[in-house]
Amino acid sequence: MAPRNGDKKPVGFATQLIAGGTAGGMEALCCQPLDTIKVRMQLSRSGSAPGTKPRGFLATGAMIIRRETPLALYKGLGAVLAGIVPKMAVRFASFEQYKGALADKETGVTSIGNIFIAGLGAGTTEAVAVVTPMEVVKIRLQAQMHSLADPMEVPRYRNAGHAVYTIVREEGIGTLYRGVSLTALRQATNQGANFTAYQELKKVAHRWQPELTELPSYQHMVIGLISGAMGPFSNAPIDTIKTRLQKATAEPGTTALQRITAIGKDMWRREGVRSFYKGITPRVLRVAPGQAIVFAVYERIKAQYLCLSPYTMSCRSIHFIVSGTVHGVGFRYFVKTMADQKGIVGWVKNDPGGTVVGVAQGKEDAMARFRKDLEVGPLHAHVTGVQISSEQTVSGLEFYKFEIRH
C-alpha cells in the first residue's frame, strides 16, 4: 500500500548509527592531523622558560613531520575511528531522544532553552559512554614522539588495541576513565552550544528560503562550521587540563579533583594564563570544519532515509522530456541549482546532441516544485513542450528521471 502524505516514522537508531558513523569517519580522516598538532601543543612546555615563546601551530606541525614523518600526524587514528561510530550514534540518537522528551506536548516544538539542555545531555552521554576511554588511548598514542620511518625505534604503544591492553594491565581499567568529569563537562558545553546554534541557524535559513523543503548541503556545511566553532572558545581551559590529566600516570593516594587542581595550579605558575589556551588554533580548525562535514553528511544520509523509507512522504517518479532552446545559462547548471535548493538528490549530465539527462529523487512536494521549474526553464530559455510519464521501480523505491532537450 502506498504511504499517505504526512505519515512519518522518526529516524531510527540504525539510521542514526549509519549516518552518524559515516559522517564521523569522514570527519576523522580529514581532521586528525589538526588534532594531533593540538595535543602536542597542549602537552608542550615550550614558552615556559623566561624569554622564550611557545611553539605555534605551523611550527609544531612542521616539527612532527620533520622528526617523525607525515604519517605521525595520524597517530591515534585507529582509536578515533574505533570510537567514532558509537560516539556519533550516541550523540545524535541521544540528542533526538532528549529533544523529543523536552518538546511541548501540544505543539511538539522544542524551545531554544530545552535544545541547549538536550545538547548538554547528549554531550554528557557520549562522554561517559564512548569519548573518555577513546581519548585516553588516543592521547597516549599521539604523545609518543617516535619516528615511524625508523623500524628500530619501538614505541611503548604499538596501536590502539595494544594501548588499551597495556593501560588496563599496568594501570587498571579505571585509567580509561581518567578525566571523565572534565571530558563530560567539555562535551556537554560543546554539544549544548553546537546543537543550539545549529538548530537556530537552520531556522533562520528556512525563514530566508521558505520555498525550500530541505536546505542544500553547502548550507548545512556553513551552519555546521559556525556552530562547531563556538564550543572550543567556551571551554579551552577545560580541554587543556583534561589532555594533561589523561596523558599523565596517576600518583597513588591522590583523588581526581586533587590531580585536576594540581595541574591547573602548575600551569598557572609555570606557564601563565596563555597555557590554558594552548592548541586553541588547531582545535578550532579541527572542530569547526569537522562539524561542517558531520552535519552535511548526516543531513544528507538522513534525507535519503526520509525519502526512501516507506513510512515517510512518498517520492514522485516522473520521466521528463523537455524540448526547447536556451541561451546563456544552460539547462544542466539550472537543473543542478534547482535540485540543490529543494534538497533533491541525483545526477545530471550533458549528452551528445544537446540533451541533458539526469536522475533525481526527493519528496513529493519538492518534486512538484522542481517540475514547475523545469517547465519554465532558466532565464532566456524557450521551452516548447514538456512530456511527463510516471514510472516506478520493482523494489517500490521511486526515482525522478528527466530528460531535457534544447
The residues annotated as belonging to the active site are 332, 350
Q: Which residues contact 219 (CB under 8 A, 6 or more apart)?
A: 205
CA contacts within 13 A on the Cβ side of 132? 24
End-to-end CA distance of the chain: 38
- Cell numbers at 74, concatenated: 595520524
What span, in angstroms and rounded, lies between the C-alpha atoms of 318 and 359? 10
Which parts of 35-145 are beta strand (E)? none
CA contacts within 13 A on the Cβ side of 97? 13
Biggest alpha carbon–alpha carbon distance for the chain: 84
- Cell numbers at 395, concatenated: 523494489
- Cell numbers at 112, concatenated: 531554544
Q: Which long-range contacts (CB under 8 A, 24 or more apart) does 374-379 make?
A: 374/320, 374/322, 374/335, 374/338, 374/402, 374/404, 375/322, 377/322, 377/324, 377/326, 377/331, 377/334, 378/326, 378/328, 378/329, 378/330, 378/331, 378/333, 378/334, 379/328, 379/329
Are 387 and 403 within 8 A, CB to CB? no
